[in-house]
Amino acid sequence: MNRSTSLERIRSAAEPFDILIVGGGATGLGAAVDATARGYRVALIEQHDFAKGTSSRSTKLVHGGVRYLKQGNISLVLEALRERGRLTQNAPHLVHDLAFVIPSYKWWEGPFYGIGLKVYDQLAGKLGLKPSRMLSRRETIRLIPTVEPEHLTGGVVYHDGQFDDARLAVNLAQTAYDLGAAVTNYCRCVDIVKKGDIVAGVVARDQESGEEFKIRARSVINATGVFVDDLRRLDDKAARRLVAVSQGIHIVLPKSFLPGSTAIMIPKTADGRVLFAVPWHDRVVVGTTDTPLPGHSLEPRALDEERDFVMSHACRYLAKGPVDSDVLSIFAGQRPLVDTGNAANTAALSRDHTILVSPSGLITITGGKWTTYRKMAEDVIDQAATVAGVEGTRSRTEDMHVHGWTLAKIREKNLQPYGSDAVKISELIKATPALSQKLHPALPYQQGEVVWQVRHEMARCVEDVLARRTRALILNARASIEAAPLVARLVAGELGHDAAWQARQVADYTALARGYVFTDPASHFRPEQGDPKRRPAARAG
């Protein structure tokens, strides 16, 4: 996947594209794959890097959403379970089955959740993972040796999927590119172009060169996540707000806090939220929150109360609670929730997706979740084909393999997320043995991966490598800062940048990554803040 090639194709296109997609997160990239697979001429522009927005900041679950079952939203659960099954088959190198235990501290919790999860199993049908079952207290502790044992009565184990969100985004960009789409990062939509009253393309700015140019298209899809209203207002200054922002944060802890391969799911915290502690890339990801915010940000930061909430709950459900110095990273993401204007809080807003076509023909898609990106893409491309006036064809992505698809187990564990590309990366490293060196002793990545990412995955800068192509930023933010000069040198070597560029890159990355570390001693978490060891009897509130 090559940026110059894509950019040149976009800039010099003689004909309007059938479909132009703005936004390179799960939604936009999925749409690019779906549209290109149907044979349409497709371009996608992303203002920053692929998955820079919400799509690299999820809980990393491919799930039906047990909690939507509780809300009675069966159709949403059914659709997500179907998509969970498809994604497991279409990207097996990135998605795998994960066992979740719901620990019970009251006698009725086991049977209560057990029955609900049997319904969940049934809804998944043929695409189901392993069935759920009740656990004794002993079995619960065997699966989660670090679970808080006091008052524990037993548990229920069920299965869902887990994945690497940013890696899947990169693979979707590659899939679209392989199929013939012109896909580029660092290219921002700065205006909408109209012919009469009808949308006929966009004005784009190459964020690297600063050059602005027009892209003509028969239909334009606004897939900009929490930014959709900004684009809608370029189309229509008076457009009503469509999206409400809800922030969710996660903390990342060393694996010793959850040493097995089973996750913990807390279906109802004291204030009614769902909380996960999930083993991921030899770390533990704990979250999340649901905090309504008045505005959006491309680089959101955890609020103090969110940090305290997650830390205190980690302390409550783990026998040995974490303290600040255990936290390897903290990251925040923003959900684009469709605001119907009636909900009292963001947790009550729809997680379903919405497609809206403006009177001028701008197609906006938002909401949904990573798990359902393929179905969202199918629906929006059906709509875009009508707007573009091109011949309608059916989506072909239900059984389509994502770039990197392989069923083979990759020998080198750090290369597993590359799937079928792992062989080529191994060869690259073998040809230049210095590239086998690690980026940092505390990180699992080799230097050769960076070279591969620049050459084939459109990594353009240090952040692209450390935040999304590798997951160094969220596996260990401090170590990633220490690795930045080496990464800058490797990227510069590939792209022909000088020492001044490298120095700027290291400074920029360091400033960014500091936001993922607990740096302010005044706001450090002290266990007593969250009353973390409140006895389980008080848990369900």
Judged by CB under 6 A, does residue 26 bind ligand FAD?
yes
One-character DSSP codes across 24-57: -SHHHHHHHHHHHHTT--EEEE-SSSTT-SGGGS
Judged by CB under 6 A, does residue 93 bind ligand FAD?
no
Q: Which 490-529 positions form the footprint of ligand FAD (CB under 6 A)?
A: none
Among 6, 36, 54, 470, binds ligand FAD (CB under 6 A): 54
Residue 287-306 contact track with ligand FAD, rule CB under 6 A, x = bound: -x---------x--------
CB of 267 to ligand FAD, least distance (A): 15
Q: Which amino acid is at 403?
A: H
Q: Which is nearer to ligand FAD, 288 or 312 (CB)?
A: 288
Q: Contact, 93 vs 403, CB < 8 A?
A: no
Q: Which helix (H) or strand (E) holds 100?
A: strand 96-104
Q: Which helix (H) or strand (E) holds 112?
A: helix 109-124
Looking at 34-42, 58-66, 320-328, 511-519, which segment touches ligand FAD (CB under 6 A)? 58-66
Judged by CB under 6 A, does residue 224 bind ligand FAD?
yes
* Cα distance between residue 307 and residue 357, in whole Å: 38
Looking at 330-338, 441-449, 509-517, 527-535, which segment touches ligand FAD (CB under 6 A)? 330-338
Q: 46, exposed or middle or buried, with CB in 10 Å at 0-12, 13-18, 19+?
A: buried
Contacts for 378 with CB less than 8 Å, ≥ 6 apart: 34, 395, 397
Region of 277 (left: φ > 0; alpha: ψ -120 to 50; beta: rest) is beta
Among 28, 114, 154, 201, binds ligand FAD (CB under 6 A): 28
Judged by CB under 6 A, does residue 334 bind ligand FAD?
yes
Judged by CB under 6 A, does residue 189 bind ligand FAD?
yes
Among 58, 184, 219, 416, binds ligand FAD (CB under 6 A): 58
Residue 432-461 contact track with ligand FAD, rule CB under 6 A, x = bound: ------------------------------
Residue 245-274 contact track with ligand FAD, rule CB under 6 A, x = bound: ---x--------------------------
Q: Which residue is nearest to ligand FAD (CB)?
A: 25
User: Structure tokens of 282?
Assistant: 């030899």
User: Structure tokens of 526?
Assistant: 């002290």
CB of 84 to ligand FAD, least distance (A): 9
Q: Which is nearer to ligand FAD, 63 or 82 (CB)?
A: 63
Helices and strands counted in the chain (H then E):
16, 18
Among 7, 24, 449, 492, binds ligand FAD (CB under 6 A): 24
Q: Which amino acid is at 486?
A: L
* Residue where the block lists tokens 């699992």: 444
Looking at 44-52, 92-100, 488-496, 513-521, which segment touches ligand FAD (CB under 6 A)? 44-52
Q: Which is nearer to ligand FAD, 275 or 318 (CB)?
A: 275
Long-range contacts of 280-284 (CB under 8 A, 24+ apart): 280/60, 280/162, 281/164, 281/444, 281/471, 281/475, 282/255, 282/444, 282/475, 283/252, 283/253, 283/254, 283/255, 283/328, 283/475, 283/476, 284/252, 284/253, 284/254, 284/255, 284/257, 284/258
Q: Which 351-380 positions form the footprint of ligand FAD (CB under 6 A)?
A: 368-371
Can you give the binding site for ligand FAD, defined by CB under 6 A? 22-28, 45-48, 52-55, 57-61, 63, 188-189, 223-227, 231, 248, 288, 298, 333-336, 368-371
